[in-house]
Amino acid sequence: MSSSTGGCLCGAIRYTLNADPVMVAACHCKDCQKQTGTAYSVVMGVPADAVSFDSGTPKTYQTTGTSGMPVDRKFCGDCGSPILTDVKVIEGLLFIKGGTLDDTSSVEVGAEIWCDSKAQWATLPESLPKMPGNPPAG
Ligand SMILES: [Zn+2]
Ligand SMILES: [Zn+2]
């Protein structure tokens, strides 16, 4: 098990992650594009109890997922950095934005999801598994 730290652009939000991600995906969904202002977000699924906030409290913007369940997008209220997403239909996992880690050298994208709304200027390795929407459950 590894421990890593991360935070937002201004430093008001700081977190510690005490587990390796169970999955890392490039998410091409329209909401991630809007929230990050770019082609996709790299999301790391981690056990919810492995994330602790050392400083600051992120704000929440709630949307409704395709499941009909809430999706809580947590971000820094001062600088706007997206930090993590709590997809309520997926219990026990939080999805950290990979770019908020202080050291991103260990982040390896394992799949591309929501390819149905992929930007044509987003290029990732051809070998990655590609899914039109959410990854299959289980
Ligand atoms: Zn901030
Ligand atoms: Zn997304």
pLDDT at residue 134 greater than cutoff 90: no
Span from the CA of 37 to the centroid of ligand 2 (angstroms): 12
The number of distinct structural domains making up the chain is 1
Ligand lying closest to the C-alpha of residue 42:
2
Provide the residues around ligand 2 (an ion) whose CB is within 5 A: 27, 29, 32
pLDDT of residue 66: 87
Asked whether residue 123 is assigned to any structural domain, the reply reads no
Asked whether residue 135 is assigned to any structural domain, the reply reads no
Provide the residues around ligand 1 (an ion) whose CB is within 5 A: 8, 10, 12, 76, 78-79
Please give the model's pTM, rounded to 2 decimal places.
Answer: 0.92
Q: What is the 3-state secondary structure (H, E, C) of 82-96?
A: EEEEEECCCCCEEEE
| Banded model confidence at residue 137, pLDDT cuts 50, 70, 90 | low
Beta strands in the chain (DSSP E): 4-7, 14-17, 23-27, 41-47, 51-55, 59-64, 70-75, 82-87, 93-97, 111-113
Asked whether residue 107 is assigned to any structural domain, the reply reads yes
pLDDT tens figures, 6-43: 999 999 999 999 999 999 999 999 999 999 999 999 99
Query: Whole domain around residue 111: which residue ranges?
Result: 4-117
Span from the CA of 92 to the centroid of ligand 2 (angstroms): 18
Asked whether residue 49 is assigned to any structural domain, the reply reads yes
pLDDT at residue 89 greater than cutoff 70: yes
Q: Which of 91, 97, 89 is nearest to 27 (CA)?
A: 97
Span from the CA of 8 to the centroid of ligand 2 (angstroms): 18
Ligand lying closest to the C-alpha of residue 29:
2
The CATH number of the domain holding residue 67 is: 2.170.150.70
